Amino acid sequence: MTPQEAAAVVNVTTNMWEHEHKSTCQVLAAVKDANRDYKPDPKSRSAWDLATHIATADVWFIESIINGSFLFDPEAAKRAESQFKTVNDIVEYYRKTLPEKLRAVRAMPAEKLTENLDFFGFMKMPRANFVLFANNHSIHHRGQLAAYLRALGSKVPDIYGPSADSEKK
């Protein structure tokens, strides 16, 4: 991958993620504090756990890409998640922080975007590719959370078009 190709990948992906960000904020906001402990199965994460994971993991991914290494500190993750007391705290953090991080990765020199990073020995690829991987990770968990919404008494917002909850009857 050339630096120009890497910059193009990052530009396209961050533009897409900025669009996805709006939908993710809507899905996060659809979780209500009164029902945030809902989970469809004992093995599942609760709606609260998914919401905090989406907000903190998306930021962690982009910071890791910028810093050039993926380091997971369970205690730091717990501290990051503990800053949230309400669903609104999560939404406001995500609404403010993710766009800042996306701008920072977009501003990186193109040559840096071609550097290979190691993801916990599981895979190695250029930083530019990890931006797309991180966006896919976010969409995956947003889909999980969106699937919870009706069961926990919320309406499913429009994501890729109208949902049955937003269509006029």
Percent of the chain with pLDDT strictly greater than 90:
83
- Residue 74 tokens read as 């369970």
pLDDT at 164: 85
**Using an 8 Å Cβ cutoff, are 18 and 30 in contact?**
no
Query: Alpha helices of the chain — where are they, by DSSP H?
Result: 3-30, 47-67, 74-82, 87-106, 110-113, 127-148
pLDDT at 81: 87
pLDDT tops 70 at residue 168: no
| φ and ψ at residue 125, rounded to 5 degrees | -165, 170
Burial 23-59 (b: 16+ CB within 10 A, else e): bbbbbbbbbeeebbebbeeeeebbbbebbbbbbbbbb
pLDDT tens for residues 28-60? 999 999 999 999 999 999 999 999 999 999 999
pLDDT tens for residues 80-126? 888 899 999 999 999 999 999 999 999 999 999 999 999 998 999 99
- Residue 124 tokens read as 């190695």
3-148 CATH choice from 3.10.450.30, 3.30.390.10, 1.20.120.450, 3.40.640.10: 1.20.120.450
pLDDT-derived band at 27 (thresholds 50, 70, 90) equals very high
* Cα-based angle 135, 141, 145 (whole degrees, multiple of 5): 140
pLDDT at 169: 57
User: What sign has the CA pseudo-torsion 35, 41, 47, 52?
Assistant: positive
Read off the DSSP letter of residue 117. E
- The mean pLDDT of 137-153, rounded to a whole number, is 95
